[in-house]
Structure 1
Amino acid sequence: MKTLIIGASGQIGKMTTQKMLSEGNDVVALVRDKNKLAGIEHNNLTIVEQDLENDFSRAFEGIEQVIFSAGSGGATGADKTLLIDLWAAVKAINYAVDAKVNHFIMVSSIGADAPDNIESSIKPYLVAKHMADQHLIQSGLNHTIIRPGTLLDDKATGVFTTTRPATRQDAVINREDVADALVYIATKESKNSQVFELFNGDKPLSELPAFN
């Protein structure tokens, strides 16, 4: 199955790209600047250089599955949050519908289910994620929406939970663990539409109902 990874030069996207390739999967990496993937070479890798703020529909040619891991980043303003986390995601979903993609995996965020429940500077980001998630759910595409907790840069733990921890400081997950979860979902033979949160926990993915 040929998988398009949108945001392949981001932290999670790059790790996911490398892990997918290491398992022998065909990957199309969509990036704004191909130099950000310098050092990643593989016969199964195709790099498409396009800006998500423009038309990037040609990246979907021959694609069977999409992983959307693009994000505007914490240093940008509300304008980029709107253009990338919401509008680029909506366009990607629409392109996927037109291309008759089999499965669309969205990297969302904890709190995207109910942005009004969180009063913080990231509320515009959560609203964007919420609207993008809703568009995907209503698109008719077979989908998986992963809402990870606060992201950390530590090495993967290999153990997870989909139950939100009682305290905010425990509602975290390492970026590499998110990448491993994306690869696990992407390489499964059977996929059912679902939405779940994901955190560092105490069980491998194979023991979690959401991954089986």
Structure 2
Amino acid sequence: MKVLIVGANGHTGRLIIDYMATHTEDHLYAMIRDENQEKELMKLGAAEVIVTDLEQEIDHEITKGMDAIIFAAGSGSHTGPDKTIEVDQEGAKKLIDSAKENQISHFVMLSAIGADEPQGPIEHYLTAKKEADDYLINSGLTYTIVRPGGLTHDSSTGKVAIAEKLDIVDERQIPRGDVAHILVASLHIKNAQNKIFEVISGDKDIEKALEII
């Protein structure tokens, strides 16, 4: 399967490439905005690199021939509203439009827990995520929208709690490596198609959790 990883040079994007390169037979295309990042991503396991800036107009040819897209690009929750809208919202919409034009089979979106009801100190960030999520849902594409809790750099555990809406108010975190694993697994588990779910660290194996969402 030919898979385009958008935001490939981010913390989670790199983990996605590393995981896919060692656990799947997929042909990986890494989308980055700086060509100087190419060598390192190729070492991680990307087969090819596509240089594109999400804040500019994009050429729909970049998704032509792809089977799936994992959108893991983001400005970060600490950036201002303008930057967040440009990348997390409008950048995602551009890729969704391109995926529609080229009839991509599956679009996996990295969203954020709380995007269904944006509020609090990062309301602008969650609002942008919700706008992108809603755009994808209404696109007609086969989708999976993954809404993780706070991302950490802790070691992966392979154990998670997944639900459409998690009834948890305290610790709501998950290692980035586990999120990368979930994003990739969502491409290969049919039950994850056309699903939106929240995920944090828990006690279920990732593949088993995705099978029973």
**Alignment TM-score, normalising by the size of structure 2:** 0.90
2:62 aligned residue (59, 65, 80):
59
Q: Look up the equivalent residue of 1:99 and give its one-letter code.
A: N
**2: CA distance between counterparts of 1:119 and 1:143?**
27
Q: Look up the equivalent residue of 1:160 and give its one-letter code.
A: V
Gap change, CA 1:82 and 1:40, over 3 Å in 2: closer
2:99 aligned residue (93, 96, 110):
96
> Structure 1 residues 183-192 or 83-92, which shifts more?
183-192
2:85 aligned residue (82, 85, 90):
82
Deviation at residue 102 of structure 1 after TM alignment: 0.4
**2: CA distance between counterparts of 1:188 and 1:26?**
18
1:22-33 equivalences in 2 (<5 Å): 22=22, 23-33=24-34
Q: Look up the equivalent residue of 1:184 and give its one-letter code.
A: A
Work out whether residues 21 and 44 of structure 1, in 8 Å CA contact, stay in contact via their aligned partners in 2: yes
1:131-210 equivalences in 2 (<5 Å): 131-163=131-163, 164=166, 166-168=168-170, 170-188=171-189, 192-209=193-210
- 1:38 is aligned to 39
Gap change, CA 1:127 and 1:75, over 3 Å in 2: closer
Work out whether residues 185 and 211 of structure 1, in 8 Å CA contact, stay in contact via their aligned partners in 2: no
Unaligned 5+ runs, structure 2: none
Work out whether residues 149 and 173 of structure 1, in 8 Å CA contact, stay in contact via their aligned partners in 2: yes
Percentage of matched positions with identical amino acids: 36
Please say if 1:8 is aligned against 2:8: yes
Counterpart secondary structure, 1:24: coil
> Structure 1 residues 150-159 or 178-187, which shifts more?
178-187
Report Cα offsets for 1:95-115 as digits up to 9, x if no partner.
Answer: 100010000000000010111
**Alignment TM-score, normalising by the size of structure 1:** 0.91
Gap change, CA 1:74 and 1:26, over 3 Å in 2: same
RMSD, aligned α-carbons: 1.9
Q: Look up the equivalent residue of 2:49 and give its one-letter code.
A: I
Deviation at residue 165 of structure 1 after TM alignment: 5.1
**2: CA distance between counterparts of 1:15 and 1:88?**
21
Deviation at residue 185 of structure 1 after TM alignment: 1.3
Report Cα offsets for 1:20-67 as digits up to 9, x if no partner.
Answer: 122231011110013234334368611001111112222102111000
Unaligned 5+ runs, structure 1: none
Work out whether residues 186 and 193 of structure 2, in 8 Å CA contact, stay in contact via their aligned partners in 1: no
Counterpart secondary structure, 2:147: strand
Gap change, CA 1:5 and 1:44, over 3 Å in 2: closer
**2: CA distance between counterparts of 1:64 and 1:79?**
31
